[in-house]
Amino acid sequence: MNDPSAPDVPLEISPTVAAAMLRDIDPAERLLLDCRTPEEHATARIDGAILLPMQELPGRIGELSPWAERTIIVHCHHGVRSLRVVHWLRERGFPHATSMVGGIDAWSAEIDPTIPVY
């Protein structure tokens, strides 16, 4: 189900769609947001992802202000936290936030097998 405030932006996208978006959208117009912990990020990460742990979002939301009307692709380990973050962001005026289904594990399986699975 899509958020009515952003009817053309799905709540979730596959790693394949995320990879295409990262390739095709100007980096100035999109953000890959990693909402995992610093320890998880140190273990495995997608090049170009910005780490902003889910638990730090309320205190750091201002850092995302420039992205309010731009594409934000959120990922975590399996896709559960990132979906929660996307709901939270959309409630706060980020209608173009979307979650990557399956998280970094799915990214490793479908896009880049050099990224460790943990």
In a domain, 2, yes or no: no
Give the chain's domain count. Answer: 1
Q: How confident is the model at residue 8 (pLDDT cuts 50, 70, 90)?
A: confident
Chain segment 85-114, per-residue pLDDT in tens: 999 999 999 999 999 999 999 999 999 999
Beta bridge partners of 12: 99
In a domain, 61, yes or no: no
Domain that holds residue 35: 12-56+71-92+102-110
Q: CA-CA distances (angstroms) from residue 5 to 8, 30, 97?
A: 9, 19, 11
In a domain, 66, yes or no: no
In a domain, 43, yes or no: yes
Statement: residue 118 has pLDDT above 60 = yes
CA atoms of 11 and 118, how far apart (whole Å): 25
Q: Average pLDDT in the 6-21 region? A: 90
In a domain, 31, yes or no: yes
Output the pLDDT for position 1. 38
Statement: residue 76 has pLDDT above 90 = yes
Task: Say if residues 107 and 15 touch (Cβ distance below 8 Å).
Answer: yes
% of the chain with per-residue pLDDT over 90:
92
In a domain, 79, yes or no: yes
Statement: residue 78 has pLDDT above 60 = yes
CA atoms of 34 and 76, how far apart (whole Å): 6
Is 76 a catalytic site residue? yes
Output the pLDDT for position 7. 57
The CATH number of residue 51's host domain is: 3.40.250.10
In a domain, 20, yes or no: yes
Q: One of 18, 35, 54, 76 is an active-site residue; which one?
A: 76
In a domain, 115, yes or no: no
